[in-house]
Amino acid sequence: MSQAAFRADALRGYRLFESTDLDETRELISRVMQPHALVPSGTGRGRSHMDFVKLGGLGLGTIAFGDAMRVDVKAVDGYYLLMFCVSGTAEVRTMGRSMQVNRDQGVLCAPGQAFDALLSPGCEQFVLRIDPVALNAQAGLAAQDFASLVPVGSSPLRGWMQQLQLVASSPELLASARSNPRVATHLEGLLIDLFATGHVGNEINTGFASRRSAVSPGFVKRAEAFIEANCRDPLELLDIANAVGVSARTLRDGFQQFRGVSPMQYVRQLRLERARDALRAAPLDVRVAEIALDCGFAHLGRFAMVYKAMFGESPSETLRGR
């Protein structure tokens, strides 16, 4: 069932521009987001607008073109970009996939990733810029490359969506955050933590085991073997790509197409499964922290959060129930 319409009333007070000129629209949006091409699918004479406000490492805004439009982005400019529709619909194509975006389903693009979007007439997008440094600092996540559907209307993300709605619809709250850096930092951390918790839960409950046996290129299988052999060690995307002899982009695209996750999400999921097996077989005097570290998790709070999202119980509950 579709969720209630998202209201962005408070953002209307932070309108950057209105224009009927496509070149001006492209230039003004590029100052805030990234360079892109705009190709009208209709008359091309609609009135465009953009609302945008910064809260620490987050940027919240809305974009509308007043007509059907294709937006072609060669590379997201150094941040995570989350998009869903306040009104209308969109089709977003990226990394070999075509994804339908509406008020219940969004898409998340990683830094450096290309995409193009076909926006329906009357489409208004909500856009959320997330600084990778803020994501790492607040949620304990590295700036990993991945693109995925984000079920913004799902129950795991309901708390995040309610908080985002409150920020976007309350002029008083936005004004307070703009004038008080401590309030802005608090809201930034809350939104990032709620999103990371809810979205990680959705990402890792999507049939990981079944993806391992899917037909895939040799480099994907070699990467899986390398990850399984080195899962306990600190791993970065480039480490895996160099080990199997392909570029980081090729590796990322291959995993996204044939496994439905990024290589670094695959690493995390494998570590979680191994941690669960170890917790179930652990002797009585073993602590959760020891198993987490042994499985490659350096951030213990983050480990507990994603573990519960995947298995429905905390690591300590698994340990007690063995």
Q: Where along the chain do its domains lie?
A: 9-204, 208-320
d(CA 38, CA 28): 12
| pTM recorded for the entire structure | 0.65
Work out the angle at residue 178's Cα, subtended by the Cα atoms of residues 176 and 179, and round it to the nearest 5 degrees. 65
DSSP H stretches of helix in 141-247:
158-169, 171-179, 181-204, 208-212, 218-230, 237-244
Find all residues with CB under 8 Å of 94, minimum gap 6, and list them. 107, 109, 113, 114, 115, 116, 147
Distance in angstroms between the alpha carbons of the first and the last residue of the chain: 39
pLDDT in tens, the chain (322 residues): 456 789 999 999 999 999 999 999 999 999 988 888 999 986 667 899 999 999 988 999 999 998 899 999 988 888 889 999 999 999 999 877 788 999 999 999 888 888 999 999 999 999 999 988 777 665 555 444 444 788 898 888 888 999 999 999 999 999 999 999 999 988 998 898 888 777 764 554 444 444 454 567 889 999 999 999 999 998 989 999 999 999 998 998 888 778 767 788 788 888 988 999 999 888 878 899 999 999 998 888 878 877 876 777 889 999 887 6
Task: Read off the amino acid at residue 309.
Answer: A
Whether 9 and 169 have beta carbons less than 8 Å apart is answered as yes
Specify the pLDDT at position 206: 43
Whether 315 and 286 have beta carbons less than 8 Å apart is answered as no
For 9-204, the fitting CATH number among 2.60.120.10, 1.10.3810.10, 3.90.340.10, 3.20.20.150 is 2.60.120.10
Specify the pLDDT at position 200: 62
208-320: CATH topology is: Arc Repressor Mutant, subunit A (1.10.10)
Specify the pLDDT at position 161: 93
